[in-house]
Structure 1
Amino acid sequence: MTHRRAGMQQIAYDTKNSQSLVITVIGGGNAAHALAALLPYKGITTRLWAPFADEAQQLNQGLNEQGYIHAEFAEHNPIHGAIQGRPQIVSANAAEVIPGSDIVLVPLPSFAYRDLFSQIKPYLKPGMMIGVSPGQGGVDWVAREILGSLYDEVVLFAIMPMPFNCRISEYGKRVEVQELKRAYRVACHPESASDRVCTLNNLFFGQSEPCGNLLTASLYPINAVIHPARLYQLAKDYEDNQPLQANPLFYEQMTDEATALMDSVNQELLAIAAALKQAHIPCGELPHIADFLANYVYQEPSQCLTSFFRDNPAYKGFGTPFIPIEGGWRPDFSNRYFTEDIPLGLCLYRGLAELAAVATPTIDKIIEWAQTHMEKSYLVEGQLIGKDIKETHAPQRFGINTLTKLREFYT
């Protein structure tokens, strides 16, 4: 599975001149709305491919009525107040927007990768760039499986973290941006394109630096460290016949117990990365989540992780994915904090740990708790061999079942 990239074609455009770029944004959700305002505001020719349900129709209706997407950035952001932008075209048909694009930006969750790459494959050309945010969950394994030899003819990069915390307030017309992140780390395949990609990401969003290959992105401590640990702390004692009595804010009422669990998951992740490096499998330097978020992304003075989540304005107003039922609340086990962060996050970590012979008791505990309530089977008697392994993004799902095969993928 060794990849050769001799003479890969590069699309000719000036990375310092935004007006030379044509970017297609995929999706019609919160981040797509923010991008549909921000990128045209910066003078970048922007297209929107919204293939889900009637999103393209709704977006076009809003644009016809208002003339633009309005993004309202909270006052503490480097860009603040109102900005407005209008995409060149919004379509549900990939053939109308992907051809002729220099860059495809994908602000979508990991579970969308497979369908996404299948649908855009016919329109990709050598040298095109595909940017995924936050680009975790083994995006490169999925892309290689779907794109085949074309995988080595495009540039695939991951932007970490997701640039925005935002919510649509009026579909097709207005989005509220609580947070535009201050700084980014970008993983890239091939790594030789990293400087070019970081120049572009700096143009789009802000301070950017390379962090290595896309295995590094999959190991970065972001969502799959935060969300499952917090949910486990909140709902570990939940039973079907015993509703939870409280529905706290997810971040503003963060607890020391939850952040201690995050730290434990993070330490196991760092041990996995160390073992992979010992086996000569390349992955970049991984930070601790507290250092990455507080000191790098938000560039705030270092503080304890619990206080960071409680006090940071980026995390204000976010609820917990609980559903009201008679007598209290129950976790929404269909929420993406479960359906994405467990099979495509923690199970990916656990699969790498199994290859590297690293013990992960905290990760195991959270997976075993979640899979019971999700009615899934991932871990069985301490091994990742459950019947639902095919739904995960563990490396074993892609036939990467030895350290040798993992090493070959990245060399």
Structure 2
Amino acid sequence: MNQDSRELPGAVTVLGTGAGALSSAMEASLAGVDVTVADFERFRGNIDAIAESGVIKLKAPWHGITEAPATASLDPAAAAAAADVIIVSVPAFGHDTFAELLAAHARPGTQVIFAGEGGGSLALVAAMNRAGRAVDLEIAELNSLPYGARVRAPGLITASRKVGGTIAAGIPAGNAAVQTACALWPSVTAAESVLETVLLNFNAIDHVPPILGNLGAIEGGAGKFLLWGVGASPAVSRFIGAIDEELIEIRRTLGFSNLKGYEEYLVEQGFAPELKDSLHATLQSSAFADSTFGTGPNALESRYVTEDVPYALCLMSSIGAEVGVPTPTIDAMIHLASIATETDYRAQGRTLATFGLAGLGRDGLLRATSTGQW
């Protein structure tokens, strides 16, 4: 896509008040877009902070506090109904809640962009199908957040942009919402299919193996653990690489042209300076090597497990099964995580069947996710 063809919308409504949502709202506002941030009553503290000050605040050590104007609403249904462009940035376990809201309230022709882990577009089409509504929205999703971000206080974030490595795809494929996503986030590039955004989930690839491969240290006592430093040993790095190879094979079987792997994306996102002679060496040279993970008896309650296993790995495994690609490493991670947490992630996890997409086969799956008709 030609950068010069990207046009920013005049206004966007951002649903959610987490780090990704506020970073997206901040960037849009600083680019001159009118921004409304909306969330539910249980997140009133976040909304009130924006409503009272009229701004979102970004704290960066090199230039202090930056402020960007925004309005705030505790009525996300009304905010969605009034919007022409909507960004949904919530964890994957929030996709269904906002999908149901949008299926009921978003006006035909509205652009909806899910910013975060993939799968939100599938949840929205499934919700519209359940509601008996034609897919009359232009839907897009990213494969990950284009930031590393944290909420430090209500309405206050720290965030850094990735320099690349984030993709966007749409239902229907190639719609205007994909172009809008690429305009809002200049580092984002268009992809072929929402199956690609689902399968290129960096968190699912690199979160679970170092946790399961270091359970003694993770659960042994309260503290901090270098998850991708000490934790990403050569053997654990091979687990990460094996998951990536299975996902690349699924993407190859689906016929996608982009077959870049996780290690290449570490460099493309700006986390590693260059490819080394092994994934282990590349990880050790990356910014991740200094990143810590909180340890202790409740460590496995982290979203690194409770989100990435049931909402990502289970879905990936089901896509592999649908198109005839074995996923033994992914399946092993699901199985071991289920044992470790005493949770049946296979029974609870999100799969193609969750969205009504099971049994279509390769060509049917590609056609359905391209058109939104299933």
1: CA distance, partners of 2:366 / 2:171: 15
- Determine which of 30, 43, 47 is the counterpart of 1:59: 47
2: CA distance, partners of 1:408 / 1:42: 36
1: CA distance, partners of 2:290 / 2:168: 28
Query: CA 1:354 to 1:142, structure 2 compared with 1: closer, same or farther past 3 Å?
Result: same
- Determine which of 113, 133, 144 is the counterpart of 1:131: 113
- Determine which of 203, 209, 226 is the counterpart of 1:249: 226
2: CA distance, partners of 1:159 / 1:341: 16
Query: CA 1:171 to 1:378, structure 2 compared with 1: closer, same or farther past 3 Å?
Result: closer
* Equivalent pair of 2:309/2:345 in contact (CA under 8 Å): no
Q: How many residues are aligned here? A: 360
* Equivalent pair of 2:28/2:184 in contact (CA under 8 Å): yes
Query: CA 1:102 to 1:289, structure 2 compared with 1: closer, same or farther past 3 Å?
Result: same
* Equivalent pair of 1:129/1:154 in contact (CA under 8 Å): yes
TM-score after normalising by structure 2: 0.85
Asked whether 1:153 is paired with 2:136, we answer: yes
- Deviation string 1:77-99 (CA, Å, 9 cap, x unpaired) is xxx76431121x21121244223
Structure 2 partner of 1:50: 39
Structure 2: segments with no counterpart, 5+ residues: none
- Deviation string 1:1-49 (CA, Å, 9 cap, x unpaired) is xxxxxxxxxxxxx98564x522111111122232333222211000011
- Determine which of 154, 161, 166 is the counterpart of 1:171: 154
* Matching residue's letter, 2:76: A
Structure 2 partner of 1:117: 99
1:10-409 alignment to 2 at 5 Å? 18=8, 21-51=10-40, 53=42, 55-61=43-49, 63-64=51-52, 66-73=53-60, 82-87=65-70, 89-136=71-118, 138-148=119-129, 150=133, 152-172=135-155, 174-177=156-159, 179-183=160-164, 184-193=166-175, 196-197=176-177, 199-235=179-215, 243=220, 247-253=224-230, 254-277=232-255, 283=256, 285-295=258-268, 300-303=273-276, 304-313=278-287, 315=288, 318-323=291-296, 330=297, 332-378=299-345, 388=347, 391-404=348-361, 405-409=364-368
Q: CA deviation at 1:102?
A: 1.9
* Equivalent pair of 1:220/1:286 in contact (CA under 8 Å): no
* Equivalent pair of 2:15/2:76 in contact (CA under 8 Å): no
2: CA distance, partners of 1:131 / 1:37: 16
Q: CA deviation at 1:276?
A: 3.8
SS in 2 for 1:153: coil
Structure 1: segments with no counterpart, 5+ residues: 1-13, 278-282, 324-329, 380-387
Query: CA 1:106 to 1:284, structure 2 compared with 1: closer, same or farther past 3 Å?
Result: farther
2: CA distance, partners of 1:94 / 1:246: 38
Aligned residues with identical type, % of pairs: 17
Larger radius of gyration: 1
Q: CA deviation at 1:154?
A: 1.0
TM-score after normalising by structure 1: 0.78
2: CA distance, partners of 1:317 / 1:250: 8
